[in-house]
Amino acid sequence: MRVPPSLAYGERGEPTRGIPGSATLIVSAELVDIAPAASDNFLIRRKKAGTGPVIRNGQAGHFHYTGVLAEGDDAGLQFDSSRMPDRPKFVTKVGPMGSVIEGWKKGLQGMRVGEIRWLKIPPELGYGSQDQGLIPPNSTLIFEVELMGIEPGAAGAVGGGVPRRASGSPRGIEIK
């Protein structure tokens, strides 16, 4: 894009950077994040930029995540984490075909390997009115998600999921 002098450094320029007075700047920019509309309760915040490739819809990624409750008496309660000892790596497809909650389907798109995001997921994009063990009905959830890598091979060859109710699980949750 072109930036005229009146919107850049003006008549003085920026001599310490080698920009002469009245210079028109040509700027190249890459869109790396889109903030949701303020009226949307779903939020994505980048905690750390990634440096690896971008995961595309249909590709399976290896993720680390930690989920906590956002509101109520149990706000801040961790209900699950892939970083707990003896947990298998968590792999899921990105995009609408993924077998995860809707907030993850939206929140994982466009991540770079190494990127860490915080996702604030309202109930309608999470578990809604369903009781999920440690996750009460109508809960807003906060996830910290890190894309560790992209699975090689055919796009979407590996499935996965986020915490789901499991009657035999000691914590009441399992990965499907």
DSSP for 107-123? HSTTPBTT-EEEEEE-G
More confident residue, 112 or 23: 112
Question: What does pLDDT average to over the chain?
Answer: 83
Closest CA to 127 of 117, 137, 116, 115: 137
Q: Within a domain: residue 105?
A: yes
One domain for residues 168 and 133: yes
One domain for residues 69 and 137: yes
Q: Within a domain: residue 35?
A: no
Q: Within a domain: residue 98?
A: yes
Question: What does the pLDDT read at residue 33?
Answer: 66
Q: How confident is the model at residue 10 (pLDDT cuts 50, 70, 90)?
A: confident
Q: Within a domain: residue 165?
A: yes
3-class secondary-structure state, position 65: strand
One domain for residues 156 and 132: yes
CATH assignment of the domain containing 140: 3.10.50.40
The tokens describing 96, both together, are: 């609408």
More confident residue, 136 or 38: 136
Whether the pLDDT of residue 155 is over 90: the answer is: no
Q: Within a domain: residue 36?
A: no
Whether the pLDDT of residue 164 is over 70: the answer is: no
- Phi (first) and psi of residue 149, to 5 degrees: -175, 170
- Total domain count, the chain: 2
- Kindly tell me the sign of the dihedral angle through the C-alpha atoms of 164, 95, 111, 60: positive
Question: What does the pLDDT read at residue 5?
Answer: 82
Q: Within a domain: residue 37?
A: no
C-alpha–C-alpha distance, residues 44 and 31, integer Å: 15
Q: Within a domain: residue 144?
A: yes
The catalytic site residues sit at 65, 79-80, 101, 127, 143
Q: How far is CA 176 from CA 3, 35, 162, 163, in A?
A: 51, 30, 7, 7
Q: What is the DSSP letter of 142?
A: E
